[in-house]
Chain A
Amino acid sequence: GENVEQHPSTLSVQEGDSAVIKCTYSDSASNYFPWYKQELGKRPQLIIDIRSNVGEKKDQRIAVTLNKTAKHFSLHITETQPEDSAVYFCAASKDNQGGKLIFGQGTELSVKP
């Protein structure tokens, strides 16, 4: 079945620096890739997503890139702020899975002021 690998498991950056989190997936039929942010004890919140018909999507300081050939996608956060500190999860799904998501292991991002 589908497997999603996420790296790194922890990431510490200085405020203002950029952060990059990478995920690889195994099923080439996957075509939808959301990213969720989860603060401690809170719900995962969708921050950005991308479908396989585009290679990049940007929303203010957040961007996601997708390389279908290599089967990997990345989250880029620029000008990081302390409030960006959280656990970030990538996920993948495909059309015939009824919306079921396969999650990566998560990355704990710490932004130091």
Chain B
Amino acid sequence: GAVVSQHPSRVICKSGTSVKIECRSLDFQATTMFWYRQFPKQSLMLMATSNEGSKATYEQGVEKDKFLINHASLTLSTLTVTSAHPEDSSFYICSALIRIRGYTDTQYFGPGTRLTVL
């Protein structure tokens, strides 16, 4: 499989500050990455699709000015939570869409970032 890293793994910040989360595909290029949010004991909620070189596509109900996504290269996408508030506290997970040896495009997930906003 492919390896996707995410940094930081945990972050605690004060209300009103911005937090940037990085998602990297370490061994394969990924023109498409996805950002999810996961609440305890719940499924993965897709926030947005990040495409290299173009604007991200946000899911309904997700504020694009609140959650800024930048896919600057074929191996890096970043999610910035702007003016974070306690309700933004969550587990954020990215994934990279990768095709290995001509097989089906498959999503490989990063380890997640636990964000706590005080």
Contacts and interface: CB of A to CB of B under 8 A. Distances in A.
A71 B61 CA distance: 28
Contacts of B43: 89, 103-106
Contacts of A101: 34, 46, 107
Contacts of B108: 46
A42 B49 contact: no
Interface size of B as a range: 20 to 34
Interface in B68-118: 93, 97, 104-112, 114
A25 to B, nearest CB: 14
Contacts of B110: 43
Interface size of A as a range: 20 to 34
Nearest to A31: B104
B109 A44 contact: yes
B49 A98 contact: yes
Given A46-B106, A100-B34, A106 B42 contact: yes
Given A42-B111, A106-B42, A100 B49 contact: yes
Contacts of A42: 111-112
Interface of A: 32, 34, 36, 41-46, 49, 51, 89, 98-101, 103-106, 108
5 contacts: A34-B107, A43-B111, A46-B1, A98-B97, A104-B43
